[in-house]
Amino acid sequence: MSESQPLSVAEADPPAEAEPPQDTPARTGSAAAWVPLALSLLALGLSIGLAVAAWFSWHELQQLAGAQSGTESRLENRLEPLRASLTGMEESLRSERQRLDRQIQKLLEQQQRSGEQISALAELVGRSEQGWGLAEVEYLLRIASQRLQLQRDIKTARQALQAADARLQELADPRFLKVREQIAREQEALQAVTPVDIDGLA
């Protein structure tokens, strides 16, 4: 029996099978294709989010504008009666002032006639005691006239007329009777004058 021959290296180790080629380039290419798609989807999502946010903001602004418009309308509706009331008060006050001016003007004319009568009587009496008394009466009538004409002070004018009538009564001269009657008419006219009640109009 012959000795076995040692196997050569080539014969001992069978040839290694070739490894199948890796598909790395294909995988890399597929991943690269997904990147633009993902970015597109992200951009689309952001656009939709911004559009929704813009719509909600616009809707909220519209609601605020509507609420403001409604508030302005309600305020205008409330102010309109106040304007009308104020206009009515101004017209009433103007009418009252005109009425008072007419009454005072009438009283001033009456007092002027009374003053003229007193002056005529003073000239007749001279510088006697009655003359001084008539001068005092004339002074009181002048005060009443000035208070009415310049200050519309009905109370002081009435007091001055009362003092003038009392002084004429003290003189006890029948010639002063017509003057006293004139003063009495002026006092009655002053009693009828109603001062403008601004607080009442308000």
CATH for 129: 1.10.274
- Residue 129: predicted pLDDT: 65
Q: What is the chain's mean pLDDT, rounded? A: 72
Question: Average pLDDT, stretch 18-34?
Answer: 53
Six-digit token string for 186: 């002026």
Domain total in the chain: 1
Separation of alpha carbons 15 and 28, rounded Å: 32
Residues 6+ apart with CB under 8 A from 70: none
Question: Average pLDDT, stretch 140-161?
Answer: 85
Q: How many residues does this entry show for the chain?
A: 202
Q: Is residue 18 part of a domain?
A: no
Domain that holds residue 162: 101-201
- Residue 162: predicted pLDDT: 92
The rounded percent of the chain whose pLDDT value lies above 70 is 66
Q: Is residue 142 part of a domain?
A: yes
- Residue 7: predicted pLDDT: 45
Q: Is residue 154 part of a domain?
A: yes
Residues 6+ apart with CB under 8 A from 40: none
Which residue has better confidence, 168 or 82?
A: 168
In this predicted structure, the answer to whether residue 57 has a pLDDT above a threshold of 70 is yes
